[in-house]
Amino acid sequence: MPEFRLYNSLTRSVEPFAPADGAKVTLYTCGPTVYNPAHLGNFRTFLFEDLLRRALHMRGWSVEQVMNLTDVDDKIIKRAAERSISITELTDPVCETFHADREFLRIQRAEHYPRATAFIPEMIDLVKRLEANGTAYKADDGSVYFAIDKFEGYGRLSRLDTREIRAGARVAQDDYAKENAQDFALWKAAKPEDEACGAVWDSPWGRGRPGWHLECSAMAMAILGETIDIHAGGVDLVFPHHEDEIAQSEAATGKPFARFWCHGEFLLTDGAKMAKRVGNVSTVADLRAEGVSAAALRHFVFSTHYRKQLNLSGAALEASTEAVRRIGDFSDRLSREKAGSAQLAEAADTLLIEATTALSDDLNAPRALGALFDFIHAANRAFDATGTDTSALARARNVFRQVNAVLDVVPDRGTDDSVLASWVDQQLADRAAARARRDFAAADQVRKALEEKGIAIEDSPTGTRWKKVR
């Protein structure tokens, strides 16, 4: 099996990776801030992390993944105040939506989904450690800040120019621009709006709440230990969030916080094309309303390398919808065939080698998808030629299953909608009756009605089959 390699943002190079203990990968992935449903840009990052998780499993390693849910920060408090509700009343429904969206997109469940508000004691303990060693201080405003000039190497992840750092100047908000790098808030003194929405806790420095950056460090180290194998997220988190995580974690422990830092690029939206082709798709709910399947979005995302920007357009989603239809048709054929041939077994072996090599090379999903379609083409030719080798068929099924276990781009042929299934069955009965009486115009009308509902039909000697294609 080829060496597994990942791009490490810290070193700006693709490096060999293996878990520190040789068996289990500790993986921390920054999750959503739950004041609004996560958008498709967020889910591009979560899909890259799902690909990473599955590729690590393919190598035979186990994975312990933490994805935090940020349920207290500036945005959440502002939104809760606008609605005159508590932060819990705001965030609970959004957390539920996130998990429903995640399950729809077939993103595997992480082992841990810690909510920041459940780890306040750990956050306070971390600030105490920093205060004790002189890298944190309480300011006149009652908040506790991290002194970036006390941490040697601040800015090395983001390659921040040290001339841009204004040590001693403070920034209280969670997000700030690169040119304004300053001492950042670890613990924020309570304000009336914090008290009003329940975003406040007792601490040695008075009532207050944690800063956004502090939350991830405390949760990651509490669950996975002081040094983790991989920390992943979107490129927008490199600075300030991940830079500050490194500073506060390593200042407290004296150990590397993460061995590898992996970041996924942005999803861009072409507004004009989106409006024309599939509407203004920005959330998973929008996607589902437009009839775009999970398999199609996964194919669309994995068709571009995770470190390259990706443009969301209706044409691209339609192309991916057609691509997964082809994959689904082949999957159906693979399950129906009774035997294969030497050519089929050879095609399967080639797929396994090429897909494994691609996925081991910094998660090159586009190359793996290309290998999958090459295999489908070769396998269809082999089936057309007819074979009698049942072991070759078993080999092809096994390899196809292994590769799809990582990419997960086979469309779901089933339907949970019994009403839809009953309606389709009635339509097919009406069509059969129309054809029997040679009323082909009526039969064509039924086909059109089915197509409008996203149902494709296929006539065969054994009867008419149907499937949802969107």
Q: What is the CATH number of the domain that holds 60?
A: 3.40.50.620
CATH code of the domain in which 403 resides: 1.10.730.10
Say if 6 falls within a structural domain.
no
| Residue after which a domain boundary falls, among 241, 264, 287 | 264
Res 386: pLDDT: 83
Say if 458 falls within a structural domain.
yes
Phi, psi of 449 (to 5 degrees): -65, -40
Say if 117 falls within a structural domain.
yes
Q: Which amino acid is at 87?
A: I
Q: Highest mean pLDDT: which of 149-163, 261-275, 353-367? A: 353-367
| Residue after which a domain boundary falls, among 264, 297, 324 | 264
Euclidean distance between CA atoms 239 and 463, whole angstroms? 59
Say if residue 79 is in the same domain as residue 104: yes
Say if residue 153 is in the same domain as residue 236: yes
Q: Which amino acid is at 90?
A: L
Say if residue 458 is in the same domain as residue 402: no
Token pair recorded at residue 444: 């064509």
More confident residue, 306 or 414: 306
Res 413: pLDDT: 64
Minimal CA–CA distance to 467: which of 276, 334, 326?
Answer: 326
Euclidean distance between CA atoms 200 and 24, whole angstroms? 37
More confident residue, 210 or 445: 210
Euclidean distance between CA atoms 252 and 226, whole angstroms? 10
Cβ atoms 66, 223 nearer than 8 A: yes
Cβ atoms 113, 28 nearer than 8 A: no
Say if residue 347 is in the same domain as residue 385: yes
Picking from 91-105, 432-446, 450-464, which range would have the lowest pLDDT averaged per residue?
450-464
Say if 3 falls within a structural domain.
no
Say if residue 260 is in the same domain as residue 337: no
Residues 130-145 have a mean pLDDT of 96
| Residue after which a domain boundary falls, among 407, 440, 456 | 407
Count, residues in the chain: 470
Euclidean distance between CA atoms 69 and 118, whole angstroms? 10
Say if residue 252 is in the same domain as residue 276: no
| 69: pLDDT strictly greater than 50 | yes
Q: What is the pTM of this model?
A: 0.86
pLDDT tens by residue, 182-202 = 899 999 999 999 999 999 999
Say if residue 29 is in the same domain as residue 129: yes
Instruction: Count structural domains, the chain.
Output: 3
Say if residue 38 is in the same domain as residue 153: yes
Euclidean distance between CA atoms 426 and 12, whole angstroms? 59
Res 279: pLDDT: 43
Res 176: pLDDT: 62
Q: Which segments of 72-189 are extended strands (E)? A: 136-138, 144-146, 166-171, 182-189
Say if 76 falls within a structural domain.
yes
User: Which 3 state secondary structure label does DSSP give 269?
Assistant: strand
- Residue with tokens 């996925």, as numbered in its chain: 359
Say if residue 279 is in the same domain as residue 379: yes
Residues 323-337 have a mean pLDDT of 95
Say if 7 falls within a structural domain.
no
Alpha helices in 337-389 (DSSP H): 342-360, 365-385
Res 415: pLDDT: 44
Cβ atoms 145, 170 nearer than 8 A: yes
Beta-carbon-side half-sphere exposure of residue 211 (alpha carbons within 13 Å): 29
Res 276: pLDDT: 32
Q: What is the overall mean pLDDT for the chain?
A: 91
Say if residue 401 is in the same domain as residue 422: no
Token pair recorded at residue 317: 């989603």
Minimal CA–CA distance to 147: which of 246, 240, 248?
Answer: 248
Domain carrying residue 462: 418-468
| 352: pLDDT strictly greater than 70 | yes
Q: Which segments of 221-341 are extended strands (E)? A: 228-234, 258-264, 267-269, 310-312
Say if residue 228 is in the same domain as residue 89: yes
Res 182: pLDDT: 87
Res 180: pLDDT: 63
User: Which 3 state secondary structure label does DSSP give 66?
Assistant: strand
CA distances 32 to 249, 420, 441, Å, are: 21, 34, 52
Euclidean distance between CA atoms 338 and 389, whole angstroms? 9
Q: Which amino acid is at 433?
A: A
Say if 75 falls within a structural domain.
yes
Phi, psi of 71 (to 5 degrees): -115, 15
Cβ atoms 186, 130 nearer than 8 A: yes
Res 422: pLDDT: 65
| 12: pLDDT strictly greater than 60 | yes
Phi, psi of 115 (to 5 degrees): -100, 140
Is the peptide bond prior to 121 cis by the omega test (within 30 degrees of 0)? no
**What's the pLDDT band for 286 if we cut at 50, 70, 90?**
confident
Say if residue 335 is in the same domain as residue 311: yes
Question: H or E segment at 458?
Answer: strand 455-460
Minimal CA–CA distance to 172: which of 199, 204, 192, 144?
Answer: 144
Picking from 23-37, 134-148, 451-465, which range would have the lowest pLDDT averaged per residue?
451-465
Q: In terms of C-beta distances under 8 Å and separation of at least 24 residues, what long-range contacts does 56-61 make, across chains too?
A: 56/4, 56/25, 56/27, 57/405, 57/406, 58/356, 58/359, 58/402, 58/405, 58/406, 59/1, 59/4, 59/360, 61/18, 61/19, 61/23, 61/24, 61/25
Picking from 39-48, 391-400, 415-424, 442-451, which range would have the lowest pLDDT averaged per residue?
415-424
Work out whether strand 144-146 and strand 166-171 pair parallel, antiparallel, or are unpaired: unpaired
Say if 12 falls within a structural domain.
no
